[in-house]
Structure 1
Amino acid sequence: MDFQTPWNLVDENLDIEDLEEFDVPTHGNQRQKQKRNGRKTARKVQKRSRKSGQQEVASKKTKKAEPVRQPEEKYEEEQDQEEHKPEAQNPVKQLQEEQDQEEQDQADVPGQVALPDGVFLYKVQSLYRHGVDLHVRSDEPNVMEVIEKIFTEFYKNVLPRLPLQQPDWKAMDTTDLMEFLESFNFAAEKFKKEKPRSLLTAARWRKVHLQSDSFKEGHLITELARKLSVVDERVLKRHYKSFSEETYGATKTEQMKHMLDQLKVKNDDVIFDLGSGIGQLVTFTASYANVAMVYGIEKCDAPADIAARISENFKRLMKFFGKIPSPFELIKGDFTKPANKESIVKKATIIFVNNWLFGNELMRDLREILHLCAPGTRVVVTKLIDQTRFNKKTYVGHFNSFSHTAPLDSIDCPVEWTDKKFDFWVSRMDNEKVYNLAEHFRAEEEEQEAKRETKRLAKAQKAELNSHKFS
């Protein structure tokens, strides 16, 4: 075996026997000395090999215990490490990023482009987790009242924690409001950076800062959206003809909440409000209840146009409070038209309709729609849909032959247009009921016929006995 490797480069895979077989070219005592040195070196190598082997076994066990990472996982870990590395701040780059972010924020602000002379924006910093800052134009209806409501109802327990002088809302004008909002936004931004865990979540919103439940949240947001959308609600009353089918008579959100609770709405319910007016019950339901979808259909121009503005303002406010409403849609149109009629029949599980002033023709159209709805669909009305006489002669076409109707509880003053008690009814559609009624009336007729037959036979037998007696 030729020895070509330098002695100091030791192959740790060899043992003592392998080392002793090396043919070292030495003479005499030098050869013996080299042999002894070789044995000592071999022992050292053996110890080193054992130690290395133990480390290798431990390393293999560790590798088996660790899950094999995919390339994507390694990449994600490297990206996370890269993101957490302290990055040297480039002043030019940082300034450019701030300008880009400012431009993006301005693009998201409603009414930011080409504001009329004398019109400016109020900005209210959101203190809710996932909330978006609210920007409102100074020429929007009731804007100062809305901002005051946000601070007095939603931020009332937060303001004392900020280094601000408490505002005097009664004496405040536009200049004072701008100065206050500038101070508040600066303090709020600092508060959010220094105490991010203190940002309001949905649960803490109710428990600590609002001291209310989801009804009060939905009610207040709906009220604010309405105030930002309606300049003068008297236009609604002037728009409608007195005591006509189109008369505007809004149900209060308190009553709507009461009815939704009684109906025990579920997350797969699809709710329709037929004749939804300005849409406040639709937006309230979207905020208060967790349902699949809420639709509102209104054919009159004035309330439908206001409803469109309420919808946009409601979405703005929900983003400000960091809340996600149930899906909803406000439709301008006639619910008796084929497209809307088909949508109601296919989708609705709960229908609300204020039919108090409906005429005979509109009531007939409503009945036709309801007859086609799926079994189990619930219909809430303010007047019984069919008030005609119900008996075995008229039951086939009667609405009660296709539904089960019961009264709903209502609060005091449930509607906006009267202080009197107002009744609500709920009907559950049941297309099998008419067949059960037919069977019931048939059995009843057979029973009555059997009784008549019994009486006839008894009378015949009595007559026969009398004839035998006198013969």
Structure 2
Amino acid sequence: FVFVVQGIGNVVIQIAALVLCKKCIGIERASWPCRYASIFEREFRLWMKWFGKPHSEFKLFKGDFLDEEFRSILKSGNAIFVNNLSFNNDHHHRLKMCFYDLQAGSRIISSKPFCEPNFRVTARNVNVTVLDNLENTVSWTSTPIPFYLQTIDYSRIEQYFAGIAKKRGHENNSEQSVCPSSSCDEIKTISKLSSAIIELKIPTLKLKRKYRKR
């Protein structure tokens, strides 16, 4: 679990307390939130140890999530939460580019979508679903804030490039397999690069609507 712009670290620490994760990571660059996050972390570890309660491993970083040192952290995350509602266009775009090589199946929850709902480019579908609103979802405003769930799925764009390779193979009457292992690796690489180039959108997102009982 990775929280981009974690604030005082309360969400990261709560996830560490409630969910069994390999690692929970928070990133924040503002000095005052980081100061309170350090106090929060110290008290949490103290009381969890006192009561003998286990928790997932977690780490709170101070720094800019756009720095190169955090690229590997973002890439390894399969559950990413980002409050990008107040990001300017430059930060929003640069963060989007950080997501182009995420692992397949990674999920991103954001307060602003990284592409418009029902966006379509050739064989790639990008479906953004607004999660059901809940009251008092955040502490910094009483206004309901929508959140968006996005799941990385490279399969459709890989099928798109595989179809092109197959068509060329038939045209050339090639007796070799259309997609040997080396060609498949090339297709995956091309699909990732194309995701960053075409309309500057992140890779194919396949979203599943989750319904809650009111």
| Normalised TM-score (structure 2) | 0.69
Cα distance in 2 for partners of 1:422, 1:390 equals 22
| Aligned residue among 74, 80, 101 for 1:344 | 74
The letter for the 1-side match of 2:14 is F
Cα distance in 2 for partners of 1:431, 1:403 equals 11
Deviating runs (4+, > 6 A) in structure 1?
437-440
Superposed displacement of residue 417, structure 1 = 2.0
Cα contact 2:29–2:63 (8 A) shared by 1: yes
| Aligned residue among 92, 97, 111 for 1:363 | 92
Q: Is 1:332 aligned to residue 24 of structure 2? A: no
Superposed displacement of residue 335, structure 1 = 1.0
**Equivalent residue for 2:144?**
421
Matched pairs, number: 163
**Equivalent residue for 1:411?**
134
1:401–1:368 Cα change, 3 Å:
farther
Q: How does 1:48-197 map to 2 (within 5 A)?
A: none
Cα contact 2:116–2:128 (8 A) shared by 1: no
Cα distance in 2 for partners of 1:402, 1:374 equals 17
Superposed displacement of residue 432, structure 1 = 3.0
TM-superposition CA deviations, 1:338-377 (whole Å, max 9, x none): 11012211x2010000011111111111111111101100
Cα contact 1:404–1:428 (8 A) shared by 2: no
The letter for the 2-side match of 1:307 is A
**Equivalent residue for 2:32?**
302
Cα distance in 2 for partners of 1:272, 1:403 equals 22
* Structure 2: runs of 5 or more not aligned: 164-214
Q: Is 1:288 aligned to residue 18 of structure 2? A: yes
Cα distance in 1 for partners of 2:19, 2:71 equals 24
1:406–1:334 Cα change, 3 Å:
same
**Equivalent residue for 2:188?**
none
TM-superposition CA deviations, 1:54-86 (whole Å, max 9, x none): xxxxxxxxxxxxxxxxxxxxxxxxxxxxxxxxx
Superposed displacement of residue 407, structure 1 = 2.6
The letter for the 2-side match of 1:308 is S
Higher helix share: 1
Cα contact 2:117–2:126 (8 A) shared by 1: no
Cα distance in 2 for partners of 1:416, 1:326 equals 24
**Equivalent residue for 2:109?**
380
Q: Is 1:276 aligned to residue 15 of structure 2? A: no
Superposed displacement of residue 428, structure 1 = 0.3
Cα distance in 1 for partners of 2:118, 2:161 equals 17
Superposed displacement of residue 291, structure 1 = 1.4
The letter for the 2-side match of 1:275 is V
The letter for the 2-side match of 1:353 is V
TM-superposition CA deviations, 1:143-194 (whole Å, max 9, x none): xxxxxxxxxxxxxxxxxxxxxxxxxxxxxxxxxxxxxxxxxxxxxxxxxxxx
1:312–1:275 Cα change, 3 Å:
same
DSSP 3-state at the match of 2:97:
helix
Superposed displacement of residue 406, structure 1 = 2.5
DSSP 3-state at the match of 2:81:
strand
Cα contact 1:403–1:430 (8 A) shared by 2: no
Cα distance in 2 for partners of 1:294, 1:406 equals 25
Cα contact 1:404–1:430 (8 A) shared by 2: no
Structure with higher RCO (Cα < 8 A, 6+ apart)? 2
Cα distance in 2 for partners of 1:308, 1:369 equals 27
Superposed displacement of residue 388, structure 1 = 9.0
| Normalised TM-score (structure 1) | 0.32
DSSP 3-state at the match of 1:296:
strand
Superposed displacement of residue 401, structure 1 = 4.0
Superposed displacement of residue 410, structure 1 = 3.5
Superposed displacement of residue 433, structure 1 = 3.0
Larger Rg: 1
DSSP 3-state at the match of 1:372:
coil
Q: Aligned-pair RMSD on alpha carbons? A: 2.4
* Structure 1: runs of 5 or more not aligned: 1-270, 441-471
